[in-house]
Amino acid sequence: MGEQQYEPQTAAYNDAQFEELIALGKSVKSRDLLGVLFLLVGIIMSIVMLGSQWFVIGILVMIGALIFMAITSATLNKKYRRMYKATLVNRVAKDYFSQFTYQPEKGFTRDYLRGLGIMSFGSDYNSEDMLQGVYNNVPFTRADVYIADTTTDSEGNSSTTVYFRGQWLELQPNKRFQTDLQIIQKGFGFTNKRKGFFTKKEDRRHVIETEDVEFNKKFQCLCQNDAEAFYLLTPTLMQAIMKLSQVLPYKMMIAFVDNTLHVLVDTHRDSMEPTLPKGGNLDRPIADLRADMEIITGLISGLLLDRSIFQGYMQ
């Protein structure tokens, strides 16, 4: 794939707040450039003056450059990140959602997601950038989620296995349902399928297959009750999921649990993270944020949640 193409967006974001954000972004870039220059000078001096008294000065310049970069990085980056999320993320979200609340430091709790019984959990967990709102009359909550497990061998070497890193969306469909259905795209790993012998019988899931051969090749479905699961797993919904899998360049899992629909998109990155202005404008950061927002809107529209696909299901 080539570089992402985007259209200039800054014209709609030209008030004083965004001018300040651009200026701060330039300061971050200048700081980084200055630090790198000092570091290069120190390296060159150390190499050229190797064996002389000036070698020590070169080492000191290198150490000074690293300290300078560390101190200014902690200050400027934190300030830029805070302003970016408080101003730009909120502004871009307004283009998509008429009502929403964005809390960058908040996320889903570990206990809540673990209690759903759809993902495996390890030693490491983090969730942030919670965005709650309504799109096409469908209430949603999304947050970045990171799940991993870190182990240490007998020699003290640590290794981390990432289970999931991406967007976790909790959606409220327009109709209630009474089933536990898990739809897992092939290649999406570390799920909790609850089909083991030690799972309580009433909580245990089992694999079912649909009449759609192509769908079965791409997705594995697990449920507790076949009749209720197939009532939800209509041909229309399966077609919608297949289309989404063709559009999204990421693996996903869809789970109906406790009258909520959970969609996990394994993007392998955090969303809504600050990127620096390029060319003195915010076109690139705005394009990146729009892509993040359009995962949310694309899933809601793609799964037809704004329509009556649950019409007539058991109340």
Give residue-wise pLDDT tens across range 270-281: 999 887 777 677
Distance CA 267, CA 251 (A): 8
Picking from 69, 94, 119, the residue at the C-terminal end of a domain is 94
Distance CA 168, CA 252 (A): 10
Local confidence band at 51 (pLDDT 50, 70, 90 cut-offs): low
Same domain, 88 and 167: no
Same domain, 20 and 154: no
Place of tokens 């990146």: 288
- Domain limits at 248? 101-302
- For residue 145, CA distances in Å to 127, 129, 164 come to 4, 9, 7
Type and span of the H or E element at 62: helix 54-83
Domain count, the chain: 2
Same domain, 51 and 186: no
Neighbours of 7 (CB within 10 A): 8
Q: Per-residue pLDDT averaged across 227-240, rounded?
A: 88
Residue 1 resides in a domain: no
Look at phi and psi of residue 268 and say left if phi exceeds 0, alpha if psi is from -120 to 50, else beta.
left
Residue 85 resides in a domain: yes
Residue 315 resides in a domain: no
Same domain, 287 and 230: yes
pLDDT at 45: 62
Same domain, 123 and 152: yes
Local confidence band at 31 (pLDDT 50, 70, 90 cut-offs): low
pLDDT over threshold 80, residue 268: yes
Any idea which of 21-25, 110-114, 309-313 has the lowest mean pLDDT? 309-313
* pTM for the model: 0.79
Local confidence band at 161 (pLDDT 50, 70, 90 cut-offs): very high
pLDDT top residue among 57 and 93: 93
Distance CA 294, CA 298 (A): 5
Report percent pLDDT > 70 for the chain.
Answer: 71
pLDDT over threshold 50, residue 1: no
Structure tokens at 143: 């947050």
pLDDT top residue among 33 and 87: 87
Picking from 94, 121, 156, the residue at the C-terminal end of a domain is 94
Cβ(134)–Cβ(270) under 8 Å? Answer: no
pLDDT at 49: 64
Same domain, 133 and 230: yes
pLDDT over threshold 90, residue 83: no
Local confidence band at 19 (pLDDT 50, 70, 90 cut-offs): confident
Residue 309 resides in a domain: no
pLDDT over threshold 80, residue 294: yes
pLDDT top residue among 199 and 244: 244
pLDDT at 5: 39
Same domain, 275 and 174: yes
Same domain, 88 and 111: no
Local confidence band at 156 (pLDDT 50, 70, 90 cut-offs): confident
Same domain, 131 and 42: no
What average pLDDT does the chain have? 81
pLDDT at 20: 72
pLDDT top residue among 178 and 290: 290
Cβ(235)–Cβ(45) under 8 Å? Answer: no
Distance CA 203, CA 213 (A): 27
